[in-house]
Structure 1
Amino acid sequence: MKDILAFLQERLQKPLPGDVAHQQMMAQPIGQRFKMQYEKPPRKGAVMIVLYPDEGKIYFPLMQRPPYQGIHGGQVSLPGGKMEDSDDNLIETAIRETFEEIGVNISDNEVIGSLSDLNVTASNFIVKPVVSILDRKPEFTRDPREVEQIFKAEVQHLIHPNTLQVTELTVAQEIRLKAPFFDIEEKVVWGATAMILSEFVEILKEHYT
């Protein structure tokens, strides 16, 4: 755990893969192309990658949202959400949302940095992925309104080539997509979450290979 902590603390201060890594996991429309148009500028939000040890391995939590009519209903995501007026910055947003959604309280000194901001056009958000490392396995308590299920992803599994796959999806009842995804615990992790994890994978590969 100390090795990955030291590596990430240093690596996250250097230039990041950013858009090059994001593009690898971007879903592509099948057939007619479409473009999202919004009258208002993107809102700000943040998510948290919470790394923690468990029986000699390193994991981070993912969560499946309940099914609902919104853009991200039923999808797998990292804990996080939109910035509130009470948040001083986006790191505070990530810490607050992580506690509210999965019950894990993270202190400022457990945050080691962040990945590249991601423009999520489907929901008109710019999302900052924050990275934290805990020295213990946390106890999870899900908010049933926001979270259908919490499950863990192993870092070593994430970087295995067989974890990356492609499928076809239909969203908004009529839009067909060819979507790269991470197969984690038999869950299809695609979209913005997959794009964020793609950058994380590229960084982890530098350490593990």
Structure 2
Amino acid sequence: MLVPLYVQDGRLHAVFTKRGEDLRRHPGEISFPGGRQDDDESDLRLTALREAEEEIGLPREAVQLVGALQPTPTIATNYAVYPFVGLIDPGRQWTLSAREVAAVLELSLHDLRAGYQRKRLLRRGVPFRTDVYIVGDHLIWGATARMLSDLLERIHPLLDDEGAG
């Protein structure tokens, strides 16, 4: 999984994908670009870069990997997700994989942090309370919200300084 970040107008932004509604797993959900490791890949960083290139047309050479977040479990599909943080330039044009991605979302981390809530959701008829991030009409929850929480916790001093200089 790649967590692409860029700075625009003095604020950090993250790039997310909105998954296609017709996908078997996680349809319509918001996530970071990423997917399964290929059998011939021995390095999960390369998997993250390849998947971002396939899903949103982000060239591997346009990403400067700067670190990793905690491995994050998915509850519904029982995967372990390994997120890697990469810096990119702002103003990219995206080329979406029509098979997987319905849209690319670029959201400021400031707005995401402000949109944090504990919310009651319903999944397969079962209600539960969970951490979510809401920006406009966009709801981020589940493993993506847990990765985002990890990221925001690590970089909150940078967000507190945004616009101070």
User: Which residue matches 2:95?
Assistant: 141
Structure 2: any 5+ residue segments left out of the alignment?
161-165
Greater RCO (Cα-Cα under 8 Å, separation 6 or more): 1
Q: What TM-score results when the alignment is normalised by the length of structure 2? A: 0.87
Q: Report the CA distance between 1:148 and its aligned residue.
A: 1.0
Query: Are 1:190 and 2:141 matched, yes or no?
Result: yes
Mean Cα displacement is larger for which, 92-101 or 130-139? 130-139
Q: Report the CA distance between 1:69 and its aligned residue.
A: 6.3
Give the number of the structure whose alpha-carbon radius of gyration is greater: 1
Q: 5 Å matches for 1:1-209?
A: 47-68=1-22, 70-107=24-61, 110-160=64-114, 163-172=115-124, 174-209=125-160
Please tell me the residue identity of whatever aligns with 1:193: T
Cα 1:109/1:55, change in 2 over 3 Å: closer
Give the count of matched residue pairs: 160
Cα 1:133/1:69, change in 2 over 3 Å: closer
Give the SS at the match of 2:157.
helix
Structure 1: any 5+ residue segments left out of the alignment?
1-46
Q: Report the CA distance between 1:99 and its aligned residue.
A: 0.5
Cα 1:109/1:67, change in 2 over 3 Å: closer
RMSD value over aligned CA atoms?
1.9
Q: Distance in 1 between matches of 2:70 and 2:13?
A: 21
Q: Distance in 2 between matches of 1:191 and 1:66?
A: 17
Cα 1:170/1:208, change in 2 over 3 Å: closer
Q: Distance in 1 between matches of 2:70 and 2:9?
A: 30
Identity of aligned residues (%): 27
Give the SS at the match of 1:95.
helix
